Amino acid sequence: MIKRKSRKEIEIMRQAGIVVAKVHTYCRENAKPGVTTWDLDQAAEEIIRSHGGVPTFKGYHGFPATICASVNEEIVHGIPSRKRVLQEGDVFSLDVGCTLNGMVADAALTVGVGEISDDAKALLKDTERSLFVGIEAAIVGNRVHDIGAAIEGYANKKGYGIVRDYGGHGVGHRLHEEPHIPNHGRGGTGPRIKAGHCFAIEPMLNLGCDEVKVLPDQWTVITADRKPSAHFEHSIAITENGPFILTLAEGLPQPYVSSF
């Protein structure tokens, strides 16, 4: 069952989302050659706790860190490490959640470390665009799989591999709620989207194939062909007039509706 959120609950999620956006801003500015993923993880935890939040990922099913820090062919769920030093030309994917007063917001982005290849630049740009294509399909009256169908249609036109083993989800009282939101699918199927639903939409696109592998740490997911991957995600609230992005940085204009 998909839980609809009250206005008060969405307000709290928005405040949690602002904290998530602060982590993104910090990591975007500080993901530089010579920095470790551990450094970024420690800073992320400090930002979240300093704003009264709790790192949602830390301890979740045993995950040991505040952020998922995935580099190059690592798609998602990479574990931060003092030994993982970012290098010029890397692509770094950051996924993070904040729990504030019992409500969760969750978002991800991928950034280039120093100067990256033209193919990597295009991958990042197109994966972010695919996120917004998915968000645009998340409107009252549509169905959940319209979101994945929109993402898949865009990714196929661009020639990217689509990560099919992982996807988006409902979010709010818990990190992962119903429904599962795949980044592919047949439009016009799945549960009906209603006002008050809150989703985390998160396309993951690859420069190569669709297939993935899980490393022996049982967390880190990589592309089977070891080609780079990108990951972008926002938590959104569905309103009668369109989607409201809960994890957009404070002060940035909402692209679809001005309020929830």
pLDDT of residue 260: 87
Nearest 10 degrees: CA dihedral of 42, 245, 122, 77? 40
The per-residue pLDDT for range 51-110, each reduced to its tens digit, is 999 999 999 999 999 999 999 999 999 999 999 999 999 999 999 999 999 999 999 999
CA angle at residue 40 from 39 to 41, to 5 degrees? 90
Check if the beta carbon of residue 108 is closer than 8 Å to that of residue 20: no
Is the full-model pTM beyond 0.95? yes
Task: Produce one character per residue of 152-173: b if its CB has 16 or more CB atoms within 10 Å, e if not.
Answer: bebbeeeebbbbbebbbbbbbe
- Position 104 scores a pLDDT of 98
Residue stretches of the chain with pLDDT short of 50:
none
Summarize pLDDT for 219-229 with one digit per residue, the tens.
Answer: 999 999 999 99
Kindly list the structural domains of the chain, giving each domain's residue range(s) and its CATH number in brackets, ordered by start: 7-245 (3.90.230.10)
Residues 195, 85: Cα–Cα separation, whole Å: 43
Q: What is the pLDDT of residue 144?
A: 98
Report the pLDDT value the prediction gives residue 160, as an integer from 0 to 100.
Answer: 98
